[in-house]
Structure 1
Amino acid sequence: MRYYRIEQNNSVSLIVETNESTTYNLTATEQGPTSFMELASAAALTNGTVDDVSRSLLDNAPTIELTTVREHLVRPFDPDEVWGAGVTYAISQESREGEGGLAESYVNAYEGERPEVYFKATPSRTVGPREAVGIRGDSEWDVPEPELTIVLYDGKIVGYTVGNDMCSRDIERENLLYLSQSKIYSKSCAIGPCISTDETVGDPLDVEMQMQIDRDGDIVFEDSTSTSEMVRTCEELVDYFARYNEVPKSTALLTGTSIIPPDDVTLRAGDTVRIDIEKIGTLENTVEQL
């Protein structure tokens, strides 16, 4: 199942799209859940799944048109924290070849037992569908990074969404110690449009991913890949994220990218970034100069 949040008349509702493509408003039931994490909490108490909890509400839930849902989308959940994993695809370390000392660090992260896991964003730095992501005023090479994103409740995988890990590549390239400045800033992360559960996604390491950057009606970059190219499992990344860590109730964990625009492509204000992940959906954001 796919879970959306919408806002109409200053009111937020939780919507579920079943695998039969019927869409229901779960907030309009007597139980009235307004967030995916409420369902995850109920599932944890009953040792069931989020989809089990959702199915128990469907008989009393009114339907809603999917077109209406898409017109009123907001961020599918409000993660307490957003984390990222890096160098999980070969292209990520290959793209740093020729960058001196940086290259060795990325090769070691790609080949080593311990993955790169880093803090990415807070809710205030994270935007949802059709909101603007930001590019820094002190950066000249800014790119989106499309990533399968794990949704965690109490450190356990409860679903997947689409993520955009915005990056100021020239700041990162200048000095590896500047990595946090290249990754963490206002509007540096986007997630959405929904949360898909295991039941819908199936094997998360076997889904297709596409990204497109549009500018003034023209496509300036597009590429596609598959999560089958990832050298780490989702469980492995979650394990290292949680080690000796104070894990919050809800977390988004981005899993790395294998789509990297070439050096001569950089985002500009007014661009549109579209990221599509099979069995989840399309995350679309405009770009603004901070």
Structure 2
Amino acid sequence: MRYYQIGGEAGPRVVLRTADAVYDLTAVKPGVDSFGSLAAAASITDQSLDEVADRLAADAPTRSESDVETPETPIWAEEVWAAGVTYEISGEAREAESGRPDIYYDVYDGERPEVFFKATPSRLVGPGGAVGIRADSEWDVPEPELGVVLYEGDIVGYTVGNDVSSRSIEGENSLYLPQAKVYDRCCSIGPCVRSAASLDDPHDLEMSMRIERDGETMYDDATSTGEMVRSVEELVDCYTAHNAVPERAVLLTGTSLVPDDDFTLREGDDVRIEIEEVGVLSNTVTEV
């Protein structure tokens, strides 16, 4: 089951998309006008997200499929965090940018994952928005990732994420990682939240990314989340342990698709990321 956030003259609304129809849940309960409020209702009533949604959908009016073609950011995440070097290719890419492979392969093979802060709501971009590349960076790439949606530290769903990064800044010095990762428009998520209960296996999903520039395909490749060396649960445990976790958070689980070293994003590029059974996240690129 997929949950979308939409706007319009009637105000913010959360809608449920099933194989049969699109249901306006907010029309039944005006207080349920976001994924966060739906998750809160499930928590208060000790039910699953899908159980609450099913009850609302029974009385909900349907919407057109076109209403979810241009959705808003699906969850107002108070924090977005990310994991690094969870795929072998990510370690190889960081070796290429820095020339210091040991610290990255130590993470890939190590007991403790790399988990770092990525974005606040003010730095987050939704579907169709423009992700940013830093004006002081010479080498920038999108990073397609499976996003884990958390409510009070518990896994409630999945989304698609784009962890935009400056490889030139990080490659200059590993201690520059926060500047390479955290800046205006540095991250996008969407187009929806797929409920955890309705997804069979987050570790067996095809993930693809295509980058287009002036109508020309600059990059097009696919992989599987099965290539991830760590489990979703392991990464979440690392993030939540000894940490003050907000009510609503998203944890990106690492990148598995890396363009060639001679590629860098440019303003006006279009980035399309698709994760099987979750959705398609599309963004343009702007300089910040």
Q: Give TM-score scaled by structure 1 length.
A: 0.96
What's the counterpart of residue 9 of structure 1? 9
- Please, which of 180, 183, 196 is the counterpart of residue 182 of structure 1? 180
Q: Which ranges of structure 1 fall in alignment gaps of 5 or more residues?
A: none
Counterpart-to-counterpart distance in 1, 2:29 and 2:185: 36
Letter in 2 for 1:146: P
Native 8 Å contact 1:200 1:279 kept in 2: no
For 1:11, what is the secondary structure of its paired residue? coil
What's the counterpart of residue 155 of structure 2? 157
The Cα shift of 1:99 comes to: 5.8
Q: Is 1:70 the equivalent of 2:69?
A: yes
Native 8 Å contact 2:26 2:33 kept in 1: yes
Q: Is 1:191 the equivalent of 2:204?
A: no
For 1:206, what is the secondary structure of its paired residue? coil
What's the counterpart of residue 52 of structure 1? 51
RMSD: 1.3
Q: Which ranges of structure 2 fall in alignment gaps of 5 or more residues?
A: none
The Cα shift of 1:68 comes to: 2.3
Counterpart-to-counterpart distance in 1, 2:8 and 2:132: 26
The Cα shift of 1:101 comes to: 6.1
What's the counterpart of residue 228 of structure 1? 226
What's the counterpart of residue 208 of structure 2? 210
Native 8 Å contact 1:26 1:32 kept in 2: no
Native 8 Å contact 1:82 1:120 kept in 2: yes
What's the counterpart of residue 268 of structure 1? 266
What's the counterpart of residue 240 of structure 1? 238
Which runs of structure 1 show a deviation greater than 6 angstroms over 4 or more consecutive aligned residues? none
For 1:68, what is the secondary structure of its paired residue? helix
What's the counterpart of residue 93 of structure 2? 95
Q: Where does 1:126-165 land on structure 2 (aligned, <5 Å)? A: 126-165=124-163
Identity, in percent, stands at 54
Counterpart-to-counterpart distance in 1, 2:96 and 2:54: 53
Native 8 Å contact 1:151 1:159 kept in 2: yes
The Cα shift of 1:100 comes to: 6.3
- Please, which of 246, 249, 265 is the counterpart of residue 247 of structure 2? 249
Q: Where does 1:36-47 land on structure 2 (aligned, <5 Å)? A: 36-47=35-46
**Bigger shift: 92-101 or 218-227?**
92-101
How many residues in Structure 1 have an aligned counterpart in Structure 2? 288
Letter in 2 for 1:170: S
Q: Give TM-score scaled by structure 2 length.
A: 0.97
Letter in 2 for 1:236: E
The Cα shift of 1:98 comes to: 5.4
What's the counterpart of residue 113 of structure 2? 115
Letter in 2 for 1:229: E
